[in-house]
Amino acid sequence: MKEIPYEGDEASVAAVALPAIRPVPTAADEGKWARNLGLKDPTGEAARGPWTGEVPRGSWRSVALSLRPVLQHRLATLWGEDARDRVRVHALWLGGSGTRGVHLYASLPEGSLELPTLSPEVAPALYFEREVAEMFGVEFAGSPDTRPLLLHHRHRAPPMRGEGAAPEADRSRFDFAPVEGEGVYEIPVGPVHAGVIEPGHFRFQALGEQILDLEVRLGYTHKGTERLWQGRDPQKGVLLAESISGDHSVAGAVAYASAVEGALETPSLPAPVEAARGLLLETERIAFLLGDVSGIVLDVGYAAGAAQANVLRDRAYRLLESLTGSRLGRGTVRVGGLSRPLPTLVPGKIARELQELARGTEELLDHVQGVSSIMDRLRGTGTVPLAVADALGMVGPAARASGADRDVRRDRPYGAYRNEEVRVARQDAGDVEARLRVKVEEVREASRLAQAFLKRGALGGAVSVDGGVPSVSGERFGLGIVESPRGEFLFAVSIDHGSLQRVHVREPSFLNWPAIEYAVRENIVPDFPLCNKSLNLSYSGFDR
Amino acid sequence: MSETEVPPETRHSSYRPADRVRGPIVTHPFPLGPARPPAGPARTPAHSAQRCEGTGACALACPTQAIDVKGKGRGSSFRLDLGRCVFCRACVEVCPTGALQARPDFELAVTDLRDLIVMHGSPRGSVAPSVPERMRAETQERVRRLFGGSLALREVDAGSCNGCEVEVSALAWPNYDLERLGIHLVASPRHADGLLVTGPVTVNMRLALEKTFRATPEPKLVIAVGACGISGGPFRGSPEVLGGVASVLPVDVWVPGCPPRPEALLYGIWLALGRVEQRLRRGELPDGERTAPARKA
Ligand code: SF4
Ligand code: SF4
């Protein structure tokens, strides 16, 4: 029988009053858990990769559900793979700084493509499962939502199986969740919007000015990109990686290239090449985040501030252009290095420009926070509390504004970030103001990092690894994870005899989209654009 | 927020709106004046028939199959479609003879798709002639009369990667300020004289694009933007895309690029209005002076 401490016993009172502190699981805990499950323990270069292993489909759910409380890993992505007579479903779980992550997969034989759903307990699993269901014909038993995600038309067969089927003429049915009650009305918006933005459909349920619910329907920009990669030469695949979401082309290219480099076991790149990639990534981040700053202040009607941010943004794009010839930095990153060395410009001049960009951005924030009519709109608007951000598995500045402490550059350092400490910006409020502050802070940090990479010889110098990209036989797998301006940008690539066999991409927006449905609740309709801009979600990144 | 609750940082603010609006003029004069040359490595491939030895290395390296080389050696034929080109320079880098060079040109918009095809060494007569000069002039004259040099455009993203959106929205930044030219990006097709369409036209966007076009009052112009808008670009060949705006709408002007820089878009819009001459003819750019002179509206 359990002993009940009597009042007055100091020691036992203390023991009862103190909350149980759960230590953050370490790499050692992860290793123990993984070995227990019998997962492979790779050596050499691959040891940086995740613990990998097959799970019988009967224990797919129980393993996933035990993994979360023990390791506190989050579901980073889940994807399907066509293996002729079977479909493999992969799930990648990532944890905090220093852990390697866990990559589990289940094999489903033809004729019984069925797997138990994870979505009731693991919120981000829902979108992933809906995609795998429509693309591979896998049924997730017990799923609460079986509507299509990206496909708007019927296909005779699942498009990612075998030869793949094309869309047919008849559109498939899509029912929005209804909200009923006196005075409740519906506002349908899109896919063609009023501004210069990507297409998507928003279905608001409102009562007066207040939003009761929002449901987002995407898929309008679905281009079948993952299928286009299949069978291609890995080098030519870079263009598609840049075109997942053009506003962070460089991050896409670097994430893809590192996945392929990992799969091909390319020796590590020369330091100047890594520095050059770092410089491009951080310059792109500055330009991107300035766009968010501009969008936020524009949507509260402060046109002069938005113009100011855009002038800075153009300078950042101009800088990227002087480094690569493309304002978005496209066509420069290649598998195994760069297409050519960055031009030998005067490093001092570029450093000064980078400083100016950071200074200008901070000055703008300074002014903005002095205008109470602006701050009043930003404060407490579109709040996403940490618990929600964690439950949704959010990433990037949007997650950090809610207090989530996660940044790939620090947690799983790659390339030039292995030798550079990254100060991760964070706010707790989770509202539009917090997101604005995190973004401005990240511009400053990006400027500092870019200057550090300049010092490491990013300009001129080598282009690629000596001896080029090795051609390897057999089937290889590689992961590439990069902190893009939107957050964790992830590629999983399988290569078979030198050509791409399966490329899965998970753009950060895929995890962050559900946050907007949460953020707008109980906000007023005119604040929707603010929530939208501050989360800056990519439609093309989601739809591909 | 009531007056008594002014946030502390407001009280001693140095904020004066006038300070922010003063400052140097950042608007580039183009197209009313000369363009700033693009910075960094040039990216528009140009082919020299004299130096080409038909190795075909470019065709193998091109990620969008924009290049076709037939035959080997000096007698080979070369075909480059700038409507598919994404200006990545891969072909220029692999060309062993220097026949492919990169130029900084960006005024590449055309009113006839055939003008985007660079063709060398092909047997005579196999190239369809592009629009006769007289017809070009007449069309331009009519457009000028109809729109009077001003244009309201509705932008439609028909499935782009959003790279083109970055550059289209840049047109409204102070640096490019398209409103100074009497061109407006309007919120509704009902207010528009034409559509500026990006993206390869996904199967899922087809209906919305058609409806937007129908909602735009006549007479109307359609400008297809980017490699995607012209040919499907990087996504050409996917069953989920139709492969360019022309698969659904009648297109008046094509603006190559991936994405086209803001100046290239301005040039394309002015070409649609008949306010500049088309520079690219049958894939060839004139040498020498870079900017086409503007014409009065
Ligand atoms: S620059 Fe154009 S033609 Fe040359 S390889 Fe790239 S896409 Fe192909
Ligand atoms: S043309 Fe290039 S930048 Fe424009 S949408 Fe297509 S891939 Fe993106």
What's the CATH number where A336 sits?
1.10.645.10
The residue that leads in pLDDT, B12 or B189, is B189
For A469-492, the pLDDT digits (tens) are 677 778 889 999 999 999 999 999
Angle subtended at Cα B247 by Cα B241 and Cα B251, rounded to the nearest 5 degrees: 130
Per 3-state DSSP, chain A is made up of helix, strand and coil in percentages (nearest 5) of: 45, 20, 40
Residues A491 and A355 in one domain: yes
Residues A316 and A432 in one domain: yes
Closest chain B residue to the Cα of A542, Cα to Cα: B161
Residues A457 and A311 in one domain: yes
Closest ligand 2 atom to B259 CA: 3
Query: Cβ atoms within 10 A of the Cβ of B288, count?
Result: 5
- A246 close contact with B: CB closer than 8 A: yes
- CB contacts under 8 A, B 43-72 vs A, are 43, 63-64
Q: In Å, how far is A307's CA from the nearest CA of chain B?
A: 6
Q: What is the rounded average pLDDT of the residues B191-217?
A: 96
The last residue of one of the domains, among A114, A141, A168, is A141
Whether the pLDDT of residue A335 is over 50: the answer is yes
For A236-285, the pLDDT digits (tens) are 999 999 999 999 999 999 999 999 999 988 878 889 999 999 999 999 99
Instruction: Quickly state the pLDDT bin for A24 (edges 50, 70, 90).
Output: confident
Closest chain B residue to the Cα of A244, Cα to Cα: B161
Residues A134 and A283 in one domain: no
Closest chain B residue to the Cα of A292, Cα to Cα: B166
Residues A276 and A134 in one domain: no
Residues A377 and A498 in one domain: yes
- CB contacts under 8 A, B 118-157 vs A, are 155-157
Cα(A233) to centroid(ligand 1), Å: 16
Instruction: Quickly state the pLDDT bin for A3 (edges 50, 70, 90).
Output: very low
Dist. CA A51–CA A43, nearest whole Å: 11
A314 to B175: CB separation less than 8 angstroms, yes or no: yes
Q: What are phi and psi of B263, to 5 degrees?
A: -65, -35
For B237-267, the pLDDT digits (tens) are 999 999 999 999 999 999 999 999 999 999 9
Q: Which two tokens stand for residue A53?
A: 């292993």
- CATH number (domain holding residue A29): 3.30.460.80
- pTM for the whole thing? 0.92
Q: What is the rounded average pLDDT of the residues A227-242?
A: 94
Predicted ipTM? 0.91
Q: What is the rounded average pLDDT of the residues A190-207?
A: 92
Measured by CA distance, the residue closest to atom 5 of ligand 1 is B62
CB pairs under 8 A between A and B: 209
Residues in chain A with CB shorter than 8 Å from the CB of B26 are 311, 314
The last residue of one of the domains, among A117, A141, A165, is A141
Ligand 1 pocket, residue B64 CB under 6 Å: yes
B10 to A371: CB separation less than 8 angstroms, yes or no: yes
Ligand 2 pocket, residue B253 CB under 6 Å: no
Query: Per the domain annotation, does A152 fall within a domain?
Result: no
**Nearest partner of A308 among A357, A247, A246, judged by Cα:** A357
Consecutive H or E run containing A135? helix A125-136
Instruction: Quickly state the pLDDT bin for B6 (edges 50, 70, 90).
Output: very low
Query: Per the domain annotation, does A518 fall within a domain?
Result: no
Ligand 2 pocket, residue B226 CB under 6 Å: yes
Instruction: Quickly state the pLDDT bin for A17 (edges 50, 70, 90).
Output: very low
Ligand 1 pocket, residue B118 CB under 6 Å: no
Residues A270 and A411 in one domain: yes
Residues in chain A with CB shorter than 8 Å from the CB of B88 are 239, 330-331, 339
Q: Which pLDDT belongs to residue A475?
A: 85
Q: In Å, how far is B191's CA from the nearest CA of chain A?
A: 11
Q: Which of A153, A236, A540 sits opposite B203 (nearest CB)?
A: A153
Angle between helices B262-272 and B163-170 (to 10 degrees): 70
Ligand 1 pocket, residue B228 CB under 6 Å: no
Residues A358 and A474 in one domain: yes
Q: Which of B14, B41, B93 sits opposite A343 (nearest CB)?
A: B41
Residues A253 and A136 in one domain: no
Whether the pLDDT of residue A15 is over 80: the answer is no
Q: What are phi and psi of B47, to 5 degrees?
A: -115, 135
CB A324 within 8 A of CB B41: yes
The last residue of one of the domains, among A85, A110, A141, is A141
Residue with tokens 């501004």: A195
Query: Per the domain annotation, does A533 fall within a domain?
Result: no
Mutate which of A151, A154, A192, A222 to disrupt the B interface (most B C-beta within 10 Å)? Answer: A192
Structural domains of chain B, ranges and CATH numbers in brackets? 44-105+115-120 (3.30.70.3270), 133-273 (3.40.50.12280)
Closest chain B residue to the Cα of A224, Cα to Cα: B240
Radius of gyration of chain A (CA): 24
Residue A175: burial class (beta carbons within 10 Å; 0-12, 13-18, 19+): exposed
Instruction: Quickly state the pLDDT bin for B135 (edges 50, 70, 90).
Output: confident
- CB contacts under 8 A, A 315-344 vs B, are 317-318, 321-328, 330-331, 339-340, 343
Query: Per the domain annotation, does A353 fall within a domain?
Result: yes
DSSP conformational letter for A121: T
For A145-179, the pLDDT digits (tens) are 999 999 999 999 999 998 888 898 888 888 888 88
Residue with tokens 């009967």: A58
Query: Per the domain annotation, does A166 fall within a domain?
Result: no
Expressed as residue numbers, the domain containing A339 is: 248-505
Domain count, chain A: 2
Dist. CA B65–CA A200, nearest whole Å: 31
Query: Per the domain annotation, does A203 fall within a domain?
Result: no
For B74-110, the pLDDT digits (tens) are 888 999 999 999 999 999 999 999 999 999 999 999 9
B161 to A244: CB separation less than 8 angstroms, yes or no: yes
Query: Per the domain annotation, does A294 fall within a domain?
Result: yes
- CB contacts under 8 A, A 367-396 vs B, are 367, 369-372, 375-376
Residues A136 and A266 in one domain: no
Highest mean pLDDT of the ranges A456-460, A496-500, B26-30, B62-66: B62-66
Q: Which pLDDT belongs to residue B127?
A: 54
Query: Per the domain annotation, does A94 fall within a domain?
Result: yes
Q: Which pLDDT belongs to residue B2?
A: 42
Q: What is the rounded average pLDDT of the residues B137-150?
A: 82
